[in-house]
Structures are given as structure tokens and as C-alpha cells.
Amino acid sequence: MNGGSSTSRVPLLERHQVTPEIASIYDALLAQRGVVPNMFKTLAHTPGLALATAGYLKALLSDGALPGYYKELVAVRLAVLNGSQYAIAAHSLSASQKGATAEQIVAAKENYESDALTDAQKLGMRCADKLHSSARDVDDALFAQLKQHFSDPQIVELVATAAAFELFPRFVDALRLPTTPVPANVQESAPNKKG
């Protein structure tokens, strides 16, 4: 299943059905994204997991050693490789909201070797592709190339992002979560910037 199904295997919990701690996550997501992702409406069944996932994803996908928009592009790439329509839609929107251009998002989906990405960004995408195939494919030669373009903290963030987005697309698709609807005002107001 690709996450495009309209019926979730586990009910999606609305704000009035969750604990106050989870309601605060819903509020933060609504303020940031304009919508509460269906993944969180499912994780709300296990509050500890929902809280931990929200904290992990905030730390992982915010600006850090690498810009947040680029990590979202890596998430888009992994979503494509995993065939997850849910994750493709969610992280394309997040990438746009964090400043990725439409051309960069298309490149992550279709041809990251295009001119939309820098040489370092293309190398990071190649690393993500290799990690998707097998962690063993991130060999010494590729790692040496990464070291020429990225600092150690950047490499950690790149690999952590690629590895995390092997997990999340599988989670949402196994539970057949419907793609989270995108509010029109969010889509229209998403900022874009160049690489």
C-alpha cells in the first residue's frame, strides 16, 4: 500500500480525543504546518511514542548542521524510493515551507543530478540512495567524498535523516494512513528560496 488509501487501519484521533500533552503537539503542528499530520493522529494512541517522535523529528528536521529544507528533500527522496505517496506529499510540503524551491523538490523526486541542487546536495542524495539499498553500500570511497563536502555534524544529520526515512514511510504505509490534506492557505503561502 502506498499511503494514499482513504481508510486507516488504526483510527485517527482528533484533538478532543487525546491527552493534554498530545493536544499541545497537535497545536504546535497546526501552528507550524497548518494541519496535524495523520501520522501524529495515529501515534496519539501511544502518547509516549507520539511525544518522542515529535521531539526526534523536530531535532532532526530543523535547521542544524544542515538546513532543514535540505533534510526535507532527503526525506522526499527516501519517500520516493520507498514508494510512499503519504511521505512524498508530507515532506514535499515541509520542504517548500522551509524554503526549498519547486525545482529542488522535483529534483529530489525525479532527477537529483539536475542543476536544481548543488554538487554537495547531489552527493548527499547519492548517499541516501546508497543507504536505501544497503548501509554497506555507503562504502569508504563514498564516505571519503562525503568528508570532502560535509563536516562531521553534517554527515551525522544526513545519514540520520536518510535512515529515519526508511522507517517513517514504512510505518505510515503499513497502517494505510491516508495522505494528510493540505490546507489551501498553507500551500499558497509556502515560502521558497534558492539553494
Phi, psi of 192 (to 5 degrees): -135, 145
Q: Is the domain of 84 the same as that of 166?
A: yes
Give the pLDDT confidence score for residue 188 in this predicted structure: 42
Domain boundary among 44, 61, 78: 61
Query: Is 6 within the bounds of a domain?
Result: no
Q: What is the pLDDT of residues 104-137, one digit of tens each?
A: 999 999 999 999 999 999 999 999 999 999 999 9
Task: Report residue 73 as a C-alpha cell.
Answer: 528533500
What pLDDT does residue 186 have?
59
Q: What is the pLDDT of residue 107?
A: 97
What pLDDT shows up at residue 7?
86
pLDDT at residue 6, as a whole number: 64
Q: Are residues 36 and 123 in the same domain?
A: no
Same domain, 91 and 159: yes
Residue 91 in any domain: the answer is yes
Say if 2 falls within a structural domain: no
Report mean pLDDT in 10-residue bins for the chain, 195 residues. Answer: 65 96 95 91 97 95 97 97 95 94 97 95 98 94 97 98 95 95 62 45
d(CA 61, CA 72): 7
For 71-83, what is each residue's pLDDT tens digit?
A: 999 999 999 999 9
107 assigned to some structural domain:
yes
Residues 42, 129 share a domain:
no
- Please tell me whether residues 170 and 79 are part of one structural domain: yes
The CATH number that applies at residue 110 is 1.20.1290.10
Q: Where are the alpha helices (DSSP H) in the chain?
A: 20-33, 38-43, 47-61, 68-82, 85-97, 102-109, 119-133, 140-149, 152-174, 184-189
Three-state secondary structure call for residue 192: strand
Residues 39 and 71 in one domain: no
Q: Cell triple for residue 157?
A: 544529520
Residue where a domain terminates, one of 61, 78, 98:
61
Whole domain around residue 41: which residue ranges?
Answer: 13-61
Task: Count structural domains, the chain.
Answer: 2
